[in-house]
Amino acid sequence: MRFTAYTHIKVDIFMMCRFGIGSITQAQMALDIILLNGINARIIKLDAKKSANGCSYGIEAQAKDKSKIYNTLKKAKIKFSVI
Amino acid sequence: MIYLDNAATSFPKSNAVNDALLYGIKVLGGNPGRSAHKLAIEAAKAVYDARVQAAKLFNAKPENVVFTYNTTYAINIALKSSYIYGTNVLISDIEHNSVLRPVASVTGNTFASYSTFDSFPDIAEKERPHAIISSIRSHMRPLTRTLICTARSNITGLQMPIGDIGRYCRENGLFFIVDAAQAAGYDDIDIERDYIDALCVPGHKGLYGPQGTAMVIYSQNAINSARVGSFIEGGNGVQSLDISMPGYMPEMLEGGTLGVPGIHALSTAIKELNGYGITNIKNHDSSLVKKAYMQLCFNDKITIYGYTHDSPMLLFNLKDKDCEAVADLLDKHGICVRAGYHCSPLAHKRYGTPPGGAVRMSVGIYNTEDEIDMFVHAIKVISNS
């Protein structure tokens, strides 16, 4: 049996921003609009402990895009919260 | 084998649809809306893409596309999630049991009941919308709040004027549910233009997707009206600590794990359908049925019920022959058709078929003129035997 040893792991640390959206469908809709506006982002599952209602999804992107995403979601009338 | 039972389920499916189904099983293995790992997100993307495809086809919003397992489930969800206890429901006189039975069930235990309006299959096409609306108006009661209507009869292919009926419903505050089991993928249906509140669509018929796929597609008007509530409660990955279903679409109506492989295959099927063009499909199918009709209509041993020029199906009986026996003999000729009541006792009664029902042949995009010639030949052989 062969084992692969990872001798070095490169970790890129960015300052990130997060938006709480709700369901996976709403997060997909939000992501579609954000990507269409040329902003790179991804869907994440939010920490259920921090939500009164339990599990939900959100969007994560680089912190420098926070205000652009904020305005994009507002314009698209998608409900969200800034985390 | 010649497959002429496309109204029950279309066959075959394209290679792309078959491949997509397999891809769904082999690759899209995650559970959408439950986790955020790569497999779950890929599955969620596939489901969302299917919502977008379906929404485009019927001019709806992606979030208002609710996936289910067949049209019967779709109609049950559309009716039971919007029904106001004690109110009256209107249906046409050619509805399938998938409409009749849930309507009888929800109205049966209350003082309200359902009424049937006339579909007028025998009058001139131009006069039908007006006559149908008059019949609806005459059956309205003070507590009528819902109208359910097929877009096309599943036994003769008779088209209903859903745009006219929809306008009447909108003007009179009725929740309008359309059973598009035979019309989706065949007729141009626009949920906004036709004033439809809930459109019930099978994936496995005119959309050429796999069995086990269907949708209820809501208009924004229906969602805004607050008539729609949850029907199937359960887990769906969001608001887990809340005892109620989420109040937003589509999760409000989607409890439990979705059938991702089927939904992905359905999405592929819809993309292909857009490539063919619905008008081309309709022209192809109706011309094949017309060809069969023109060769059979002068035969005095054959009774044809309710033929219309734009129908993808033909309903008939052979003189002195039981319809199930005719279907069995056609099967021996390698031809698949369906006989009996087609789960539509109301429609059979309306068309006056004899006890036992009739034979239905229904075509699809893969049928050819040669196959119709062979079908007609087989019918002539059987009728002379």
pLDDT digits (tens, 9 = 90+) for B230-278: 999 999 888 889 999 998 899 999 999 999 999 999 999 999 999 999 9
Give the mean model confidence (pLDDT) for residues A61-75.
Answer: 95
Q: How far is CA B91 from the centre of its chain?
A: 15
Whole-number Å distance between alpha carbons of B312 and B255: 35
Instruction: Identify whether B261 is preceded by a cis peptide bond (ω within 30 of 0).
Output: no
SS3 A18: strand
Statement: residue B111 has pLDDT above 80: no
Provide the phi-psi class of B9: left if phi over 0, else alpha when psi is between -120 and 50, else beta. Answer: beta
Residue pLDDT, tens place only, B336-378: 999 999 999 999 999 999 999 999 999 999 999 999 999 999 9
pLDDT at A52: 76
Whole-number Å distance between alpha carbons of B73 and B77: 6
User: Which of A24, A51, A54 is closest, CB to CB, to B44?
Assistant: A24
DSSP codes of every residue in B259-298: -HHHHHHHHHHHHHHHHH-HHHHHHHHHHHHHHHHHHHTT
The tokens for B241 are 């600590």
Residue A72's nearest CA partner among A28, A43, A36 is: A36
Whole-number Å distance between alpha carbons of B183 and B200: 10
pLDDT at B109: 60
The tokens for B255 are 């409890």
Q: Give the pLDDT band (50/70/90) at residue B385.
A: confident
Residue the block writes with tokens 């049925």: B289
Whole-number Å distance between alpha carbons of B366 and B146: 37
Residue B130's nearest CA partner among B87, B88, B161 is: B161
Contacts of B347 (CB under 8 A, 6+ apart): B93, B94, B95, B96, B153, B154, B155, B156
Whole-number Å distance between alpha carbons of B65 and B82: 16
pLDDT at A50: 76
Tally of residues, chain A: 83
The enclosing H or E element of B90 equals: strand B88-92
With CB atoms and an 8 Å threshold, state whether A23 touches B33. yes
Nearest residue of B to residue A45, measured between CA atoms: B36
Q: Are B214 and B259 in contact (CB under 8 A)?
A: no
Whole-number Å distance between alpha carbons of B245 and B229: 9
Report the mean per-residue pLDDT for chain B.
96
Residues of chain A positioned with their CB less than 8 A from the CB of B236: 23
Residue pLDDT, tens place only, A11-23: 445 699 999 999 9
With CB atoms and an 8 Å threshold, state whether B242 touches A54. yes
The enclosing H or E element of A79 equals: none
pLDDT at A71: 96
Residues of chain A positioned with their CB less than 8 A from the CB of B240: 48, 53-55
Tell me the nearest-neighbour CA distance from B55 into chain A, angstroms. Answer: 13
Statement: residue A68 has pLDDT above 50: yes
Tell me the nearest-neighbour CA distance from B68 into chain A, angstroms. Answer: 16
Report ipTM for this prediction.
Answer: 0.83
Locate all alpha helices (DSSP H) within A1-83, ordered by sequence: 24-36, 66-75
Instruction: Identify whether B102 is preceded by a cis peptide bond (ω within 30 of 0).
Output: no
pLDDT at B181: 98
Residues of chain A positioned with their CB less than 8 A from the CB of B44: 24, 28, 43
**DSSP state, B204?**
S
Statement: residue A2 has pLDDT above 60: no
Q: What is the pTM of this model?
A: 0.93
Whole-number Å distance between alpha carbons of B326 and B324: 5
